[in-house]
Structure 1
Amino acid sequence: MSRVFHLPAGSTRSGARRAAASPSGPGPAAAPGPGPRRGGIVAGYLAPHPPHLVYAENPPQNEPRSTGGWEVLRWGYEELRRRLRAHRPDVLVVHAPHWITMVGHHVNCVPNPRGVSVEPIFPHLFRYHYDFRTDVELAEAVVEEGERAGLVTSALREEGVRVDYATIGALHLANPDWDLPVVSLSANNNPYYYSDASLGEMETLGAATRRAIERTGRRAVLLASNSLSHMHWDTEPDLPEDMAAEHPFSHEQYAGDMELLQIVREGPTSRLKDAIPRHIGATASETKAGSLTWLLAAMGWPEVAGDVLAYGTVIATGNAVVEWVAP
């Protein structure tokens, strides 16, 4: 694992931060003692966040209006929503590549984030008014477990900080009713600058997330908010939802996605430990931010296959909606 990310576990700085932690805000109460109800991670989803998918749905929270588009991916999300409900989760935990932090891993501990999330490249598609609850107890537990594992972790408690569009996009597409509390994690951006950084860091964060979920007794569903191949157009059609202009960036990018998804479909997930880095090198994949590795590590790299619910391109980037169910 990279030297860049690590501090000795239980440092003076992290200990002081835990001592100053605020009490839990809105969110589900911790599960009672031993009983029939079982906590833990029940499922994980690769849940890409292209703002175009939210735009195409015309939800009341998003200001721009659309005539549709990207239906196959949106149908995949409809199936994701149906399955998510069947898992009866207490909380959604999301890792998103566009909440970028340069030092360590941050966890949103603001009880009720509210505001407008704007996609900086496509503000004409995504200006989304959000208002949701954070499971603060679980969020604080993730911070603590990350510190115990030797990670640099921080609790975001500043009211009014704008939530990034990748977090909002994945959460809306998975649960447009916004009736479940959330824990959101940042993406440390060091892999884009330091050659000695590795996805092993995300395995540590995933294991810490799992311990926090089990410790608090939550039934959790995880969302990895990233696309696959990430080469994209630098212009768009006059009508953004014109599907005549939508296709893969290149055959090589498409073929790389299909190679990875075939391994996903065959299983077990342990094969993806080698396949994900290869895919990143071949396709400039957004999984470089670590969201998918975090999800699978949190689930313990289960000996199961993933269920690919949909695949499609958005401005030429490859996007797959995939489910893994905990054994």
Structure 2
Amino acid sequence: MARVFQVPAGSSRSGARRAAGTPAAPAPAPAPRPGEQKAGIVAGYLAPHPPHLVYAENPPQNEPRSTGGWEVLRWGYEELRRRLRAHRPDVLVVHAPHWITMVGHHVNCVPNPRGISVEPIFPHLFRYHYDFRTDVDLAEAIVEEGERAGLVTSALREDGVRVDYATIGALHLANPDWDLPVVSLSANNNPYYYSDASLAEMETLGVATRRAIERTGRRAVLLGSNSLSHLHWDTEPELPEDMSAERPFNHAQYAGDMELLQTIREGPTSRLKDAVPKHIEATASETKAGSLTWLLAAMGWPDVAGDVLAYGTVIATGNAVVEWVP
């Protein structure tokens, strides 16, 4: 029954729109002059968003206070931050599972999102005050390239809309200084709820994202914010950061994560086209939301191995911090 809801990228309406003709593509950005750094995607990271990691860091923006915890994953993010700076990006582009849109793909085009983001299941851990800048020109270009590719895309321009905790969590953990502009994309979760891992549309969105980045001349770092295995406890210890209670949900979930990570470590990324759906089936993986597929498709499924910077569990879910450099 689930397969009834699997459809090609776009819809019948968008297909008719393509048949009727689409606007000519804008001219690409000029080539860099000698000494200038080349535009494009300079790195991509699997950057999971468990609110516990932000909670454990005790940043001033987050109201709850902790005594630490989940150090190995947090050390992985420390290394991610060091490497991200070395890439000297102009912008961070993030796709996360919890800005859920049921029709199409939305791109945040609000110039200065501000507010408080609350994790609905763990409000005692994550009440985060955010204030950041959006690269509006790039955001609008992603909308245009998505439409040109036949996707249903929309630009969010409503001030005051609360930014989801997954987007905020991934961005904070990757760049707690918040000194780089951001573009955030929604997760179209029709495939997530109604089919068995239909990821083809996320590949189309990834290609559209790359084209927009190259067209606008940006040096971009991409953040795909999925956890891996996603079965989790329904209760937590009295002290949330009590690491004696932290372990994989079961051996099968852990083994599934290790199989996927071994494929990542061996490369090339093209092997993940088959490995990710297999992992989703075995572990209820959050990669079903498409962030990892979007990330690797945007990078052109590069012929490289991923560098696993850390792996650990959070309330039993598997989480890995991984870098790919094209």
Q: TM-score, normalised by structure 2?
A: 0.92
Q: Following TM superposition, by how much is the alpha carbon of 1:59 offset from its aligned partner in structure 2, in angstroms?
A: 0.1
**Residue 115 of structure 1 corresponds to which residue in structure 2?**
115
Q: Check whether the contact 1:10–1:147 (CA below 8 A) recurs between aligned residues.
A: no
**Distance in 1 separating the partners of 2:204 and 2:178:** 29
**Distance in 2 separating the partners of 1:3 and 1:268:** 26
Query: Is 1:125 aligned with 2:131?
Result: no
**Residue 258 of structure 1 corresponds to which residue in structure 2?**
258
**Residue 83 of structure 1 corresponds to which residue in structure 2?**
83
**Distance in 1 separating the partners of 2:176 and 2:201:** 31
**Distance in 1 separating the partners of 2:255 and 2:317:** 12
Post-superposition Cα deviations, 1:166-199, rounded to whole Å, max 9, x if no partner, equal 0000000000000000000000011133337710
Q: Following TM superposition, by how much is the alpha carbon of 1:8 offset from its aligned partner in structure 2, in angstroms?
A: 2.4
**Residue 215 of structure 1 corresponds to which residue in structure 2?**
215
**Residue 14 of structure 2 corresponds to which residue in structure 1?**
8
Structure 2, unpaired ranges of 5+: 1-5
Q: Check whether the contact 1:31–1:218 (CA below 8 A) recurs between aligned residues.
A: no
Task: Give the aligned CA root-mean-square deviation in angstroms.
Answer: 2.0
Q: Check whether the contact 2:8–2:200 (CA below 8 A) recurs between aligned residues.
A: no
Q: Check whether the contact 1:9–1:147 (CA below 8 A) recurs between aligned residues.
A: no
**Residue 205 of structure 1 corresponds to which residue in structure 2?**
205
Q: Partner letter of residue 211 of structure 2?
A: R
Count, aligned residues: 313
**Distance in 2 separating the partners of 1:181 and 1:173:** 15
Q: Check whether the contact 2:10–2:152 (CA below 8 A) recurs between aligned residues.
A: yes
**Distance in 1 separating the partners of 2:247 and 2:29:** 47
Query: Is 1:245 aligned with 2:251?
Result: no
Q: Following TM superposition, by how much is the alpha carbon of 1:244 offset from its aligned partner in structure 2, in angstroms?
A: 0.2
**Residue 53 of structure 1 corresponds to which residue in structure 2?**
53
Q: Following TM superposition, by how much is the alpha carbon of 1:3 offset from its aligned partner in structure 2, in angstroms?
A: 4.7
Residue 312 of structure 2: SS of its match in structure 1? strand
Residue 255 of structure 2: SS of its match in structure 1? helix
Q: Which moved more, 1:185-194 or 1:171-180?
A: 185-194
- The structure-2 alpha-carbon separation of the partners of 1:4 and 1:266, relative to structure 1 and needing over 3 Å to count, comes to closer
**Distance in 1 separating the partners of 2:43 and 2:14:** 32
Q: Partner letter of residue 7 of structure 2?
A: S
**Residue 21 of structure 1 corresponds to which residue in structure 2?**
none
**Residue 3 of structure 2 corresponds to which residue in structure 1?**
none
Post-superposition Cα deviations, 1:117-156, rounded to whole Å, max 9, x if no partner, equal 0000000000000000000000000000000000000000
**Residue 24 of structure 1 corresponds to which residue in structure 2?**
none
Alignment of 1:54-73 (within 5 A): 54-73=54-73
- The structure-2 alpha-carbon separation of the partners of 1:255 and 1:94, relative to structure 1 and needing over 3 Å to count, comes to same
Residue 193 of structure 1: SS of its match in structure 2? helix
Residue 318 of structure 1: SS of its match in structure 2? strand
Alignment of 1:1-327 (within 5 A): 2-3=7-8, 5-6=10-11, 7-8=13-14, 11=17, 34-35=32-33, 36-195=36-195, 198-326=198-326
Residue 171 of structure 1: SS of its match in structure 2? helix
Residue 94 of structure 1: SS of its match in structure 2? strand
Runs of 4+ in 1 over 4 A off after TM superposition: 30-33
**Distance in 2 separating the partners of 1:242 and 1:250:** 19
Q: Following TM superposition, by how much is the alpha carbon of 1:2 offset from its aligned partner in structure 2, in angstroms?
A: 1.7
Structure 1, unpaired ranges of 5+: 19-29
**Distance in 2 separating the partners of 1:196 and 1:149:** 23
Residue 234 of structure 1: SS of its match in structure 2? coil
- The structure-2 alpha-carbon separation of the partners of 1:264 and 1:197, relative to structure 1 and needing over 3 Å to count, comes to closer
Q: Following TM superposition, by how much is the alpha carbon of 1:4 offset from its aligned partner in structure 2, in angstroms?
A: 7.7
Q: Following TM superposition, by how much is the alpha carbon of 1:306 offset from its aligned partner in structure 2, in angstroms?
A: 0.1
Q: Following TM superposition, by how much is the alpha carbon of 1:9 offset from its aligned partner in structure 2, in angstroms?
A: 5.9
Q: TM-score, normalised by structure 1?
A: 0.92
Q: Check whether the contact 2:269–2:304 (CA below 8 A) recurs between aligned residues.
A: yes
Q: Check whether the contact 1:228–1:318 (CA below 8 A) recurs between aligned residues.
A: yes
Post-superposition Cα deviations, 1:245-300, rounded to whole Å, max 9, x if no partner, equal 00000000000000000000000000000000000000000000000000000000
Q: Partner letter of residue 51 of structure 2?
A: P
Q: Check whether the contact 1:230–1:283 (CA below 8 A) recurs between aligned residues.
A: yes
**Distance in 2 separating the partners of 1:59 and 1:243:** 20
